[in-house]
Structure 1
Amino acid sequence: MRPLALYLRNFKSYGENAPILDFEQFDIALLSGENGNGKSSLADAIAWCVWGKCKGMDGRGGIDDLVRTGAEDMEVSFTFEEDGNVYKVIRKRDKRRGQSALDFMLKRGDAFVPISGNRIDETQLKIQEVIKLDYETYLCTGYLSQGKADLFAMKKPNERKEILAEILNLSVYDRLERKALDKRNELRLRLEWLEREMENLQRQLAEKGDVEKEMARVIKTLADVQDRERALREQLAEFTRRKQEKESIKERVENYQDALKRGNKEINSLIKEEADIRRRLEDYRKIIEREDEIENSYAELRELQKQEKALNDKFQRVAELMRKKERLEGEMRIREQNMIHRINVLEKEMEQQQEKMSKERELKQEWERCQKKLQELDMLEKDLTGMEERAGQLTQEAAGLIARRESLNQHLRELGERYKVLKEAQADCPVCGKPLDDQHKKQLMDEAVRQGEAVRQAIKETGEALNKLDKQKKEMEARQKEIRFRLKERGKLEGRAALLFRQIQEAQEAKQKHGELNEQLVPLRQLFNQKAFVEDLIKELEGLEGRILEIGYDAERHRIIQERIVKLNSVPNEWEALQKAKAGMVSGTESLVRFSKMIDEKRKYLEDVAGIICDLQEAIKDLPDILERISELEGIIQDVQREIRRKEAERGALGERMEKIREAETLLEKKRAELGELQKKLEIYNTLALIYGKRGIQAAIIENAIPELQDEANRILAKITDGRLAVEFLTQRDTKAGSVVETLDIKISDGMDTRKYETYSGGEEFRINFAIRIALAKILANRAGANMRMLILDEGFGVLDEQGRERLVEVINAIRDEFDKILVITHVQELKDSFPVQIEVVKTPAGSTFKIVG
């Protein structure tokens, strides 16, 4: 992976307008700046963009902690070249919505086309397929962070294998070993349970003989009981047949008895109806005796009904004319009410217009007061604009004072460091480099103290100036707050002024409208007083009253006739009863003769039925004995059936036991087969646990990696020492007792002698550590199939003296052909002149930024 360009926005300390880092402008560059300015954040941005991980996300930190304080989202874009193709990765995070986005693009021609997956995890896999590195491998190959260069070599020999295993990412085999051991333990538990199950099954099989004997005995007893049941059922069938015959005869007796009862009821009913006919004939006779009286009253009623009909016709005609009269009178009332309403409406409108006219002067005075207040607010708004401009000037002045105070504090710290150096027992002159005598040393220390006091005084004055600016700003903000509060009244005042202006116009319009309304009211009052608006209705009413008199309807005569008709109300019913009595006398006499004959015939039939009943009752005298015997047989059969059910239940239970025994035989065979399979699997996982363990494949990988590591380290070491030093890794050594122990010793050869690594220090130790670390990175990249062409060194070079810094530059120049891009991160200013290109990182109020120098 060869980097081409990096763009970041709101990532960690960087703000919205950070520049693009163009990697094509350098091969080796020094990334410098004060601690906390954001140097390492550029390397973190590459890691987060490509893998979604970086420093600052470990432990309790999350992805949202990477977003710059005060910002809502962040974005990082990284362009790189791999296998001749140019790719771009863009990763974004919206903290407010809790949403992330990842885009992966390939350059075709002059444009980038998307090759992302459907989801973020799919896109991440595509990126790693291209670069062939995961995040952990990248940290060990392309990014050497602070304190990691000598991590491997500085460990004790017995700890180096553990470090090497960690660097080679052999922890995956530890996890596989743990899984194999967990599976083995799981299989052991299953095996123990299976053996217990097989013991239980074998105990069940031991009962098979006893169950078979008991089954034979139960089957024989069941057959005997079933034979007895069949014999009893045959007896019961014979008695049941006889019972059915007797019950059939009994049913005939009951039918004849029911017929006898029905016959007696019919005779009684006929006798009752005969008596009813006699009573009706007597009633008919009494009505016929009043025939003359009824006929005369009926004739009078018919005449009165004719007279009432004529009077009803006159009444309907008069009633129709009265209804018309009432409608006309109602319409007269409506017209009068409408006229009164119109007059009242006009009078009320005139009163409203008069009220508006009376308020005109007061409204004008209030409108003038509103206008005066609005002019005052215009003046305050102009004052506010001037204050805002002054507030901006104060902010700029404060920013300059803060920057000056930071610069003075930095100068003060440098003086403190210089004083500490001078205070040491053997200090060198910072100008000529020669050792200082006591007098010269005291002069320099006194000068440092004097300059320190001057700087402190300047810091104090700067702080006082800042406090003064802050006080002015707060006073101005309070006045601005007060003015803004006053300005909130503008909308209310403008609305009130507009309303008053409209009301003044309405008062002026009311004068004209008042006169117009008075012109409409005068003629309406004249019409109302003269009744001219109902003149047509008065004439029509006079005509209706004349027509009512012409009809001549006599209401008193009508009332007398209606009362007489009410008194004769029962006559029509009496006349109808008379007609019915004349016809009923003939038919009733005939019915009386017919009913007497029917009663005699029914009595003779019932005497014959009583004789038949006596004969049949003699034939069913033995029915109770038959029923008693049937009941006895049914009880015995029920006892036998209960015995059969008990035996069948015993047979069923024994059958279930035999079935379980057969199932146990089948299950035992399966368990035996499963036991064999489990034993085979247990052996397999025991073997896998050994293979994945420390003494298995891990040891083999380390043994195979050490020669490769040694060759690669010596190749790099030859470059940076001109072939003077060579490294050798020993994995075993003899003890004083004559045994061999596992170790990982480092032997260094300088062409004349071979010594342990621990005996080296200074420049040789630094070069050895660096060569081993670069060799480890190369091996890891090769094993991953990746072509890591970028190296970032973030190693805390502040502890190096001048010779150490020179060695660092020599080593980096020696390996520059191993990588396309090398980026060295440090805050040590003395290293800047040693690199042709520097990337200077500074922090501003708008966020961190950088520029490329050289």
Structure 2
Amino acid sequence: MIPVQLILKNFLSYRDATLDFRGLHTACISGSNGAGKSSLLEAITWAIWGESRATAEDDVIYSGAKEVRVDFTFQSNQQKYRVIRTRIRGGTSVLEFQIEIPSGFRSLTGKGVRATQDLILEHIKLDYDTFINSAYLRQGRADEFMLKRPTERKEILAELLKLNQYDDLEERAKESSRQFKARAVELERSLESIKIQLQQRETTEAQRVELEAELNQLQQVQAFDNIQLQSLQVVQHQRQNWEQQLSFVKQQYQNLTQDCDRLQQEQSAIGSQLSDLEKILHQEAEIKAGYTQYQSLQSQEEAFAAKFEEYTRAQQTRQQKQQHLTKQIHEIERQLQQAQAQLEALHQQERDIQQTLTKSGEVEAALSQLAAARHHVARLDQLQMQVTPLLQQRATLQSQLDRTHAGLVARLEQLQSTENQLQRQQHRQPQLQQAVMDVAIQIEELEKKRVYLQRVQEKGHERRHFIERLQAHQRDYEKLLGELEQKLQMLQNPEALCPLCERPLDEHHWSRVVEKTQAELEDTQGQFWVVREQMAVSDREIQVLRQEYREISQQLASYDGLREQRGQLAAQLEATTDVQQQLQQIAAEKQHLERSLQAGDYAPDKQAELRQLDQYLQQANYNEQDHALARSEVERWRWAEIKQGQIKDATKRQAQLLARKPELQSQIAQLQVRIQQDQTDSECAKQIAALERHITEIGYSSEQHNNLRIAVRQAQSWHLRYQQLLSAQQQYPQLQTRLQELEESRSARVTERQKLGGQIESIIQQLQATANPSAQIQALEQQLAIRRRQLDEQIAKLGRLEQLALQLETLQIQYEQQHQQLQSCKQEYRVYQELAQAFGKNGIQALMIENVLPQLEAETNQLLSRLSGNQFHVQFITQKAGRSAKSTKKNAKLIDTLDILIADSRGTRSYETYSGGEAFRINFAIRLALAKLLAQRAGAALQLLIVDEGFGTQDAEGCDRLIAAINAIASDFACILTVTHMPHLKEAFQARIEVNKTQEGSQLSLSI
């Protein structure tokens, strides 16, 4: 990836900036600390991958801005791309990806930020982790790899090489092997259970044959009893038919008896009705006369009812007319009352106006007082306008003088505090000198112990390597002893073959082979015990070395703290050398300040100006209290203006009242005349008089009407008796006919009942002649039921046995299938176990690291030779188990450590003993070699190199060599950007990018 152009808007410390990389090969990004140098590079990672050092997504937005935008154009694989990433504060991000074509840029943006990010990674073939660990040597992370422990270094290298995917594969393989192992255990338990169940097959078959024979015998006995039961049931059925016929005939006989009784009762009831009807028919003449009188009275009552309706309508109409007239008169009376009330209100207003007009003289006097007070206030207002700027100027001068006085007092207090602190430092100078000497002696003793600790560590490494070789020899001897013991066990067979040529042995050769094998076994056992003894001795030596290493390490725990303490004490001691001179300067300045404060001669120009202003204000004779009293006097006489307005309004109102008063008096007289006319001469009054005359002409009497109603109610019984007479005349012949029909029906039912009595006697005789088989049938049915239950039980048992036999056949098939599954699971378990070992730390990962380390070591030493003038050499060591002559490389197992040995002209030393500049050059070489290796493994060419703050620990010679190394490797990269805050290094680079921090944000300037 080669940068072409970077455009920033509101990103971190940048408001608006553009950087064009075209023409830049090796460039320096310089500026003071905090100017925004690293932010410029963070913009590239945020645009491409959306990653930065910001903890929250909105933290990349410039403080106070609402939106951030980064536009980055770069070249990759001979093709130019453009990435635009924007974000709104509190909102979401937008990502655009474009590719250059002859007509401009064409969009490759996917559906959403995630899809577009995947497209970018697909084209550049470089993810964020690989970039920051290869092309981008970030600030403060140059020595991250070297400061880790050996085991952690190997983990970091595995992480950089992205070998953690093999950890996932290992865990998945282990999980699959555990699953197949659990499945195999489950299948074994299931097979054992099925095997136990299959042992029941023969017993089940024998029980089934025996049960079938018992079932056939029971079925034969059951068939014979069923035939006997059927014959008895035929006899019982015939007897039941006769019983049912007897019951039916008896029921008919009883029904006929009930019919005869019912007909007899109905005849009696009809006879009683005939006698009642005959009584009514004998009173026919009397009933008709009474009914004629009832009809006459009813006609008279209807005539009176018509008069009553006409009378009621006339009364209602008269009442409605009267209500209407009363409503009209009330409306006029209401208008009359309103007019009278208005006239009374006019009289009251006239009295109020007259009272107001009597105060006109008092108001005129108050108005003259108000004019005089306002003239006085106007004069004071003009004087205030002249004095106010002078008062403000005086307040400003007084405030400036107060601040000057406070500043002098604060400076005096600061000088006193500084003087006390310097005096304390001056007293501590002998103590600091003694402390520096004591710390130097302690550091010198600890440095000797550090050298001795390194020798102890080297000796421990030597002992561990020796133990590893002894362990390899021990395994070889154990294997050889096992083979020899197996050979002796095979030779115990009289027909044993020769272990070498596999030919039959005679007694002589058999004895020689046994003796030789026995002697070889004893010799091997002796060597085995010698190795065990050497291992025990070496273990004790290592324990002693470990104890000694721990003790010395504990003593060296304070080494770094002592070095830091020595630096602090030296700085404090150096600071005490010029304390006396500072104390003299402070004493002189204190004396000057105290004299100025006592005499008050500070800021003489401002004090003179203040005195002049006070003199002028005294001559003006302006008093704020007099001004306030004048304003209150004006407010006290303001009521005169209000009263003057009220008098003017009262005069106008009096004229209006005089014009309105005659109108109201005329209106009241007219309303009184209208009331008199409506009561006597209106149309409604005339209609009411006509209705009263019509009511008199109707001549309706309520008393006569009530007497007639009473007579009609008393004669109403004749109407009822006349209806009964008509009904009796109609029912009498019908009841006579019905009485004759009932007599004939009763005679026929008596004859039929006598016949049914003879049939009942005949059926009873037949039943007495036939025996009852119910007891025999009940006994046979009980026997059949018992035997049927036995048959059901036997059949159910036979069904269960047949089902069990079917299940056993199914189990046999299942047993064979699960047996095959068990073999498959065991095979899969072995496969995944081998895969887990292959994917583990000691498998593919160890082999890949072992293959990568020679390439990394060669690249590191090539770069380090340029940086150190061929003075340093790095060697990567992975500790391995010792191997015997018969063992191969495949048998070697890597231990999880990665030691880095650094050799110079004085020999091989640990990384911690090198100075800051030397350590950085080693770090830089290893880091750059890792970068090239990672980029190569990612499938991308490492065309861009960014070194962020890499010169802080270098001396002049080291910086020159580092710059020379960068220039030497410049041909390997298309663009190299170096970030530094050291001004004298800018001159070493022809192309420089200056970064400056301003109030408008960080600004860029490019010089080539």
2:98 is paired with a residue whose SS is strand
**Pair 1:170–1:590, CA change in 2 (3 A):** closer
Match of 2:714 in 1: 567
Match of 1:803 in 2: 957
1:786 is paired with a residue whose SS is coil
Q: Determine if the alignment matches structure 1 residue 230 to structure 2 residue 383.
A: no
CA drift of 1:606 comes to 0.8
Counterpart residue identity of residue 529, structure 1:
I
Counterpart residue identity of residue 566, structure 1:
R
Q: Quick one: distance in 1 between partners of 2:333 and 2:685?
A: 19
CA drift of 1:629 comes to 3.3
Match of 2:678 among 520, 532, 557: 532
Unaligned stretches of 5+ residues in structure 1: 362-378, 402-411, 426-440, 461-503
Q: Quick one: distance in 2 between partners of 1:348 and 1:71?
A: 76
Q: Determine if the alignment matches structure 1 residue 668 to structure 2 residue 786.
A: no
Counterpart residue identity of residue 698, structure 2:
I
Match of 2:941 in 1: 787
Q: Quick one: distance in 2 between partners of 1:821 and 1:544?
A: 126
Q: Determine if the alignment matches structure 1 residue 598 to structure 2 residue 745.
A: yes
Tell me if the contact between 1:31 and 1:823 (Cα under 8 Å) persists in the aligned partners: yes
Counterpart residue identity of residue 938, structure 2:
A
Match of 2:275 among 263, 268, 282: 282
| Larger Rg over CA atoms | 2
1:46 is paired with a residue whose SS is helix
Match of 1:192 in 2: 185
Tell me if the contact between 1:148 and 1:795 (Cα under 8 Å) persists in the aligned partners: no
Q: Determine if the alignment matches structure 1 residue 645 to structure 2 residue 792.
A: yes
Match of 1:371 in 2: none
Q: Determine if the alignment matches structure 1 residue 128 to structure 2 residue 121.
A: yes
CA displacement, residues 650-706 of structure 1 (integer Å, 9 cap, x when unaligned) = 223323332332222111111111112112212222222232233432233234334
Counterpart residue identity of residue 1002, structure 2:
T
Moved more, 130-139 or 741-750: 741-750
Match of 1:4 in 2: 4
Unaligned stretches of 5+ residues in structure 2: 357-384, 408-417, 427-432, 438-573, 594-645
Q: Quick one: distance in 2 between partners of 1:114 and 1:351?
A: 94
**Pair 1:649–1:822, CA change in 2 (3 A):** same
Counterpart residue identity of residue 843, structure 2:
G
CA drift of 1:625 comes to 3.1
Tell me if the contact between 2:867 and 2:961 (Cα under 8 Å) persists in the aligned partners: no
Q: Quick one: distance in 2 between partners of 1:645 and 1:348?
A: 118
Pairing of 1:693-704 with structure 2 (within 5 A): 693-704=840-851
CA drift of 1:27 comes to 3.6
**Pair 1:572–1:204, CA change in 2 (3 A):** same
Q: Quick one: distance in 1 between partners of 2:949 and 2:862?
A: 22
Q: Quick one: distance in 2 between partners of 1:787 and 1:337?
A: 114
Match of 2:1005 in 1: 852
Match of 1:544 in 2: 691
Tell me if the contact between 2:246 and 2:764 (Cα under 8 Å) persists in the aligned partners: yes
Q: Determine if the alignment matches structure 1 residue 83 to structure 2 residue 77.
A: yes
Match of 1:14 in 2: 13
**Pair 1:92–1:449, CA change in 2 (3 A):** farther
Match of 1:329 in 2: 322
Match of 2:776 in 1: 629
Counterpart residue identity of residue 14, structure 1:
S
**Pair 1:720–1:602, CA change in 2 (3 A):** same
CA drift of 1:562 comes to 1.9
Tell me if the contact between 2:343 and 2:665 (Cα under 8 Å) persists in the aligned partners: no
Q: Quick one: distance in 2 between partners of 1:352 and 1:622?
A: 132
CA drift of 1:128 comes to 0.7
TM-score norm. by structure 2 comes to 0.62
CA drift of 1:842 comes to 5.3
Moved more, 713-722 or 698-707: 713-722
Q: Quick one: distance in 1 between partners of 2:294 and 2:805?
A: 108
Match of 2:208 among 215, 228, 234: 215
Give the CA RMSD over aligned residues. 5.1
Counterpart residue identity of residue 752, structure 2:
Y
CA drift of 1:574 comes to 0.8
CA displacement, residues 422-449 of structure 1 (integer Å, 9 cap, x when unaligned) = x999xxxxxxxxxxxxxxx999946996
2:773 is paired with a residue whose SS is helix
2:700 is paired with a residue whose SS is coil
Match of 2:531 in 1: none
1:797 is paired with a residue whose SS is coil
CA drift of 1:737 comes to 11
Q: Determine if the alignment matches structure 1 residue 683 to structure 2 residue 861.
A: no
CA displacement, residues 138-166 of structure 1 (integer Å, 9 cap, x when unaligned) = 12111112454455567788876555433
Count of matched residue positions in the alignment of Structure 1 and Structure 2:
734
Match of 2:311 in 1: 318
Tell me if the contact between 1:8 and 1:14 (Cα under 8 Å) persists in the aligned partners: no
Match of 2:979 among 825, 831, 851: 825
CA displacement, residues 631-662 of structure 1 (integer Å, 9 cap, x when unaligned) = 33332222222222222332233233323322
TM-score norm. by structure 1 comes to 0.73
**Pair 1:755–1:557, CA change in 2 (3 A):** closer
**Pair 1:348–1:776, CA change in 2 (3 A):** farther
**Pair 1:798–1:528, CA change in 2 (3 A):** farther
Q: Determine if the alignment matches structure 1 residue 50 to structure 2 residue 48.
A: yes
Match of 1:692 in 2: 839
CA displacement, residues 733-775 of structure 1 (integer Å, 9 cap, x when unaligned) = 998999999797878999x999889798787775554344223
2:1003 is paired with a residue whose SS is strand
CA drift of 1:356 comes to 13
2:133 is paired with a residue whose SS is helix
Pairing of 1:321-720 with structure 2 (within 5 A): 321-336=314-329, 445=578, 522=668, 525-526=671-672, 529-530=675-676, 532=678, 535-621=682-768, 625-710=772-857, 712-713=859-860, 716=863
**Pair 1:589–1:656, CA change in 2 (3 A):** closer
**Pair 1:127–1:319, CA change in 2 (3 A):** same
Tell me if the contact between 1:10 and 1:74 (Cα under 8 Å) persists in the aligned partners: yes
Q: Quick one: distance in 2 between partners of 1:100 and 1:353?
A: 82
Match of 1:408 in 2: none
2:952 is paired with a residue whose SS is helix
Q: Quick one: distance in 2 between partners of 1:203 and 1:624?
A: 64
